[in-house]
Amino acid sequence: MSIIMDNSCYTCRRRRIECEMTEPPCKKCKKAGLECFQKRPFRWVQGAAFRGKKKGSSVKDASVSVTKLNLESTRRDGSCTRIINYAESIADDDASLEYGPRNLCVDNVLVNPDDPYASSLDKVSKYYLYYYSKCVCKLFVMYDSKRNPLRNLIPAALSDSVLLTSIIALSARHMANGGQSFYELGTSTLPALTDEHHNALWFKYKAIQELSHALSDRKLYKNDTAIASAFLLIFLDLLESGSDKWNIHLEGVKKLITQIQPMGSRTGTEQGLEETVEGMRSFIIRQIYLIDTLGATYTRPRLLSHTPPLQEPTTLLQMSLDKSYLGCPEFLLDALRSFSICRDMLAGSDPLEEGSLQSSIENVSIVLNLTQNFDCRAWASNLPQLDTHLTHDTNMLSTLAEAYKAGALIYGRRVSDALVKETTPLNNLVRELIAIIEVMRCDEALFKCILWPMFVAGLESQQQDQRDFVISCLEKFWFETKCINVVNAANILRRFWKMGDTQQTLHSQWIFNIGQLGRDWLLI
């Protein structure tokens, strides 16, 4: 029997959302993975209060106050030069550099004294590590568990300051996003530079600064933990915008992986840490292929390098579902990669020769047929089972694959249209994708995996009720993840629909011009 609370809980009031006022913890706090406080908890402040004018500040004001890092490393060889070029490219990121965190308040109750890292770190780091473990790690895997590869990074972070600061930056940004509204972020008005936003920017700068220094050190730039730190910056960009420097981080991680240097033989505790890092390496390699493939579909042609797979594609995503990010079947990723390469050829400055054109038309047609015949249920049925304490619904996993299959078919047919200079009506396929998305709304674990096909549906939607449905799904996605890239996805669609209503051919040419709507977007 549920207990009805007399008043809204403090946590919901602070998040500016309606509390359901049922037994503590209330349903919304429990769903968000937050402590449900009935009253304002005791808080402590680290450092002196930040004095001075504050009302006129904004996130943009902090961003333009950036100072470039002065990397004093020398170029030693070709491979090291490429790594240092990546370090220089990320060093110019936006942050407020003059001061440390403002009025940094920590809820002591969130720090679990039984955690293994509780006694070895300062209170701020403990707090952010706990928040990372509780609220952030579950965002970037299909099913959360004790084997979550992101959570398993914590032991490595205890002995690696670069990785630790990347984790803290990720936590600080997610915390700052929690107090914002989907529709407020969708306006042109910049949010005020609150203490939470200031701290998120500051920790981001600190993470990038430490990573840049590590990459300029010949002894450190090949370490697995440096790769993991750079990889986390891609997730940070999803939380922050989805259009900042994710592609730079992506290309940098790909280069770092090619220069990877194993940790060597260890014993005891060190051996266990090595196994953890190697597991993370495997996770990163698989997810980089996924991000690289899906990311290319919404960017300007040829923005990303068409590098070969970073390892032999042996059932790339045929791994435990609690160690997978989005769950898009490997076959569909390969199909999308083939379509994107063809699109980039079409976008070149020189027209394709007749022989190349016919070859491309034939290749796209073959891949489209294979995609149409892809058996989503067989794929879902053959996935490895989760641990006994976790369960997954094969029907919903099959539906997840169907969402990516429908999105891949739409993308491939638009590439095919560009090759033959026609426009294929895709209304039935769009309605099918909309129906799949509606089914998936009820699955909290898998709904956060389908932003990419959801955006494809929005780009192809011609009816107002379809467009309204997509926006409502994006709002739900924001509530579940607090990733600002989904807010930007809604803004892009609104602009795209407004332009498309006056330019009839625009909606079928989005494979070329979606990357020209302001920036290059990572919408996953």
> CATH number for the domain including 27?
4.10.240.10
Read off φ and ψ for residue 43, nearest 5 degrees. -130, 150
Is 12 within the bounds of a domain?
yes
pLDDT of residue 75: 35
Q: CA-to-CA distance for 65 and 205, rounded, in angstroms? A: 12
Amino acid identity for residue 349 in this structure: S
| DSSP per-residue letters across 262-317 | ------HHHHHHHHHHHHHHHHHHHHHHHHHHHHHTTS-TTSS--PPPSS--SSTT
Is 103 within the bounds of a domain?
no
Q: CA-to-CA distance for 308 and 326, rounded, in angstroms? A: 21
Q: Which of 266-270, 353-357, 402-406, 415-419 has the highest mean pLDDT?
A: 402-406
Is 376 within the bounds of a domain?
no
Lowest mean pLDDT among 320-324, 350-354, 516-520: 516-520
With a pLDDT cut of 90, the percent of the chain lying above it is 32
pLDDT of residue 76: 40
pLDDT of residue 340: 92
pLDDT of residue 255: 82
| DSSP per-residue letters across 122-173 | -HHHHHHHHHIIIIIGGGGSSS--TT-TTGGGHHHHTT-HHHHHHHHHHHHH
Is 150 within the bounds of a domain?
yes
Is 133 within the bounds of a domain?
yes
Q: Are 159 and 296 in the same domain?
A: yes
pLDDT of residue 410: 97
Q: Are 187 and 290 in the same domain?
A: yes
Q: Are 150 and 286 in the same domain?
A: yes
* Residue 412 binned pLDDT confidence (cut-offs 50, 70, 90): very high
* Residue 100 binned pLDDT confidence (cut-offs 50, 70, 90): low
Is 158 within the bounds of a domain?
yes
Range of the domain at 1: 1-41
Is 197 within the bounds of a domain?
yes
pLDDT of residue 267: 40
Is 433 within the bounds of a domain?
no
Contacts 24+ apart (CB under 8 A), 212-219: 212/69, 212/71, 212/87, 212/88, 212/90, 212/91, 213/71, 214/162, 215/83, 215/84, 215/86, 215/87, 216/71, 216/72, 216/73, 216/84, 216/87, 217/73, 218/76, 218/80
pLDDT of residue 96: 44
Lowest mean pLDDT among 43-47, 326-330, 479-483: 43-47
Among 420, 508, 503, CA closest to 456: 508
First-to-final CA distance of the chain: 39
Each residue's pLDDT tens digit, 212-267: 888 887 665 557 788 889 999 999 999 998 887 888 888 888 888 777 655 444 44
Average pLDDT over residues 326-342: 92
Name the more confident of 505 and 97: 505
Q: Are 183 and 303 in the same domain?
A: yes
DSSP alpha helix (H) spans, 68-112: 78-91
Average pLDDT over residues 340-354: 83
Q: Are 178 and 304 in the same domain?
A: yes
pLDDT of residue 408: 97
* Residue 406 binned pLDDT confidence (cut-offs 50, 70, 90): very high
**Dihedral of CA 11/15/18/20: which sign?**
negative
Each residue's pLDDT tens digit, 450-468: 999 999 999 999 999 999 9
pLDDT of residue 206: 92
Average pLDDT over residues 402-430: 94
Lowest mean pLDDT among 69-78, 163-172, 217-226, 396-405: 69-78
Name the more confident of 103 and 32: 32
Give this prediction's pTM: 0.79
Check whether the bond before 25 is cis (ω within 30° of 0). Answer: yes
Read off φ and ψ for residue 272, nearest 5 degrees. -65, -40
Q: CB–CB of 296/304 below 8 Å?
A: yes
Q: Are 163 and 290 in the same domain?
A: yes
Among 186, 54, 253, CA closest to 494: 186
Among 310, 279, 277, 278, CA closest to 292: 310
Read off φ and ψ for residue 46, nearest 5 degrees. -100, 130
Structure tokens at 475: 């709002």
CA distances from 491 to 279, 345, 447 (A): 37, 29, 20
pLDDT of residue 319: 55
pLDDT of residue 192: 63
Number of domains in the chain: 2
Q: Are 20 and 136 in the same domain?
A: no
Q: Are 137 and 278 in the same domain?
A: yes
Structure tokens at 23: 């037994």
Contacts of 273 (CB under 8 A, 6+ apart): 155, 156, 159, 266
* Mean pLDDT of the chain, nearest integer: 77
Average pLDDT over residues 423-435: 95
Among 4, 24, 34, CA closest to 131: 34
Residue 427: CB atoms within 10 A of its CB come to: 12
Q: CB–CB of 300/343 below 8 Å?
A: no
Q: Are 248 and 142 in the same domain?
A: yes
**Dihedral of CA 192/197/199/204: which sign?**
negative
Q: Which residues pair with 107 in a beta bridge?
A: 43
**Dihedral of CA 145/150/152/157: which sign?**
negative
